[in-house]
Every structure is written in structure tokens, then in C-alpha cells.
Amino acid sequence: MIEVIGIGALNMDRLYLVEHIAEPGEEVRIDTVSEQPGGSAANTIVGLARLGIHTGFIGRVGDDADGACVRLEMEREGVDTGGIETVPGRTGIAIVLVDGRGERSMYVYPGVNDELCMTPENMSYAKSAKYLHLSSFAGEDQFEMQKGILDKLESKISFAPGMLYAQKGIDALQAIIRQTEIIFLNHDEIEMLTGSGYRDGAEKLNKAGAAIVVVTLGRDGCYIRTPDSETVVPGYGARVVDTTGAGDAFSAGFLCGRLNGRPLGECGRLGNRVASMCVEAVGARAGLPGAEVC
């Protein structure tokens, strides 16, 4: 049985390491260039596959070289690609600038991600999983599609809104939040989503229906809140090279712990551990560990 199926954008990440992000009109030297498959939910699904979890994905790539690479890499990682369609057009692209502190700026071209819709076959596929892991799309139609399918599913929902969805505000996300078991956000995203600090924001999300709210706090670890409890789990030290995909890696570690019946605090520690390994390499996937960690 497939334990977790992801649904989200499939992109080719083009990463450029620079000393600092340029100001308007400024020229800055690029020190390193890297191209890797990406997409938030896809990164989490690959992280889970490496941790020994049986995973699949629902998404769309173009009939170009990037699409072939994205799909092949998912297959190589052991992800079931039965829900990935290849269609005429350009695969999504994310241009990522990473500065000397490992912080990043991202520019996204959605490509054929903007054409994804749920077919009866994909709906049947989604129903086969224990968890459906959702992340953001740039297109409004795909956001509405995600909201519309949840009432038809019995799978548990994990949700990583990211900045694209967080900026919509809590009311716009209510249809997803009320059916979510676990919602993953970083410190900035939860403030943007709820208009409150992370503790008060987490309480708002619990009241909105999310059973477990997890807020990543960078070097400080993570904060976990349920309607009945809250805890802070300290982080791991890391030599930060690139923070791209750190939240996606955290989600993979946390979900791995959850699927294996671990207490929430231990799930948080596992998430912190996987994220700390991710940021020590360039890109969202290069530093992801294997099943020995989980």
C-alpha cells in the first residue's frame, strides 16, 4: 500500500549561489550553478522515499528535457509515478538565488503545473494512500481543485501551504485547514497566514480544524501544538550551505515518525534532524538522508 501520495508542483530548480542578492541595477558574480528537480511536495515525497516510506505523486510535467529528468529522478528514488502525467508544453521552473548565508530568493514559472486537474483515475489513486500531502501551486485553478477534492477522500491530510498560500490568509485556506491533520509552516508563513505570532497563530489554526500545527524555527528547532498540548523541540547544529527545501525535508522526517507511531516530540526531533542534513548541501534533495535516520 502507498503510505503517502504528494500533490503539488513539479519543477526543475535552477540554483545560483551568490555572495549576496543583487539590488536593482547591481551586478553580482554567480559562484556556483546547479540544476535539480524540485517542487515542495515532490521534495517531501522524495525525502520520505529515502526514509523507507512507500510513496507516490500526482502532478504534471511537460514533454521537454526537464520533464523527462524530473520524472526519471522520481522513479530512481523509488517513488510511484503512476499519477504523473506528461503533456505537451514546458515543465515548471524555479530560479533560486542563494546568498552567502544560505538564504534564498525564488522566482517560479509554473509551466504545465497550471494545467493539472484531477481525473477519475487520479482520484482513485489518491484514495489509496494513508496520507495525502499537499503543497502550493501558483495557479488559482489548482488551488480550487485541491479544496474541491478533500471531501471525497478518506486519507489523512498533511499540508505545507508555503508562502504562496500563506499570503492568501486563513479564511481563504479554511476549506483545507479544517480537514488537515498536520499543517507545516515556518515562522514567517504562520505570521502571514494568521496575522499573529507563531504560538497564537498555532492556536488559531487548531481552532480552525488542524489537529497538529508544526512551526519550523530554523536553528531553534520546531514548535508543535495540538488542542491539548504544546512543545518546543530544539534544533540540530548544521553548517548551512543552502536552506532550499529545508521545510520540505522537515516535513518528510516528521511524517516518517508519525507513520511509524512515534510521539509528536520525537517526530519533531526527526524532522529537525532531516532538515539539518538537507541544509548542508546545495539544493532541496542532495543532503536528504536514508532510512537509517528514521
What is the rounded CA–CA span in Å between residue 49 and residue 65? 24
The answer to whether the predicted template modeling score (pTM) of the entire model surpasses 0.85 is yes
Of the CA atoms within 13 Å of residue 134, those in its CB half-sphere come to 28
Selection from 96, 108, 107, 135 nearest residue 241 by Cα: 96
DSSP conformation class of 90? P
Question: What letter represents residue 173's amino acid?
Answer: L
DSSP conformation class of 227? S
241-269 pLDDT, tens digit each: 888 899 999 999 999 999 999 999 999 99
Residue 147, C-beta contacts closer than 8 angstroms, at least 6 positions apart: 175, 176
How far out from the chain centre does Cα 45 lie?
8
* 161 within 8 A of 189, measured Cβ to Cβ: yes
- Residue 266, phi then psi, degrees to nearest 5: -70, -35
6-30 pLDDT, tens digit each: 999 999 999 898 888 888 988 889 9
Lowest mean pLDDT among 14-23, 36-45, 192-201, 247-256: 14-23
Q: β-strands 30-38, 222-225: how paired?
A: unpaired
Per the annotation, the verdict on 248 as an active-site residue is yes
What structural domains and CATH numbers belong to the chain? 4-22+31-278 (3.40.1190.20)
Question: Which among 13, 66, 242, 248 is annotated as catalytic?
Answer: 248
Rounded to the nearest integer, the mean pLDDT of the chain is: 94
H helix or E strand, kind and range, residue 96? strand 92-98
